[in-house]
């Protein structure tokens, strides 16, 4: 199935409008991926992270599904709940 997805994505990225939109959304995808990866690497469920961070589990789910944009404060709470430090950079 991965090969079919990659083929469709490659075809879609030939469209300049699709490519531009994907590039525009890339920072959001990176934040989502970072949250999910950090939680999974820590071996935590969303519920466990909720208890550690003080962020409602439903809101963690929304963040991980791209249905909410986290504030810096929220990212700091998540980092603390994960036992990590939040680092933001411009490259």
Specify the CATH number for the domain of residue 51.
1.10.260.40
- Give 1's pLDDT tier (boundaries 50, 70, 90): low
User: Given a cut of 80, is residue 35 above it in pLDDT?
Assistant: yes
The per-residue pLDDT for 49 is 98
User: SS3 letters for the chain?
Assistant: CHHHHHHHHHHHCCCHHHHHHHHHHHHHHHHHHHHHHHHHHCCCCHHHHHHHHCCCHHHHHHHHCCCCCCCHHHHHHHHHHCCCCCCCCCC
Is 88 inside any structural domain? Answer: no
Range of the domain at 9: 2-81
pLDDT tens-digit map of 42-91: 999 999 999 999 999 999 999 999 999 999 999 999 999 999 999 999 98
The per-residue pLDDT for 12 is 87
The per-residue pLDDT for 79 is 97
Is 24 inside any structural domain? Answer: yes
Is 56 inside any structural domain? Answer: yes
The number of distinct structural domains making up the chain is 1
Is 45 inside any structural domain? Answer: yes
């Amino acid at each position: 199935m991965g090969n079919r997805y990659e083929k469709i994505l490659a075809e879609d990225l030939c469209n300049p409008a699709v490519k531009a939109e994907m590039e525009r959304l890339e920072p959001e995808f990176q934040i989502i991926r970072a949250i999910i990866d950090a939680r999974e690497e820590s071996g935590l469920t969303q519920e466990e992270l909720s208890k550690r961070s003080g962020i409602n589990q439903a809101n963690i789910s929304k963040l991980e599904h791209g249905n909410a944009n986290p504030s810096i404060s929220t990212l700091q709470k998540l980092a603390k709940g994960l036992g990590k430090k939040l680092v933001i950079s411009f490259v």
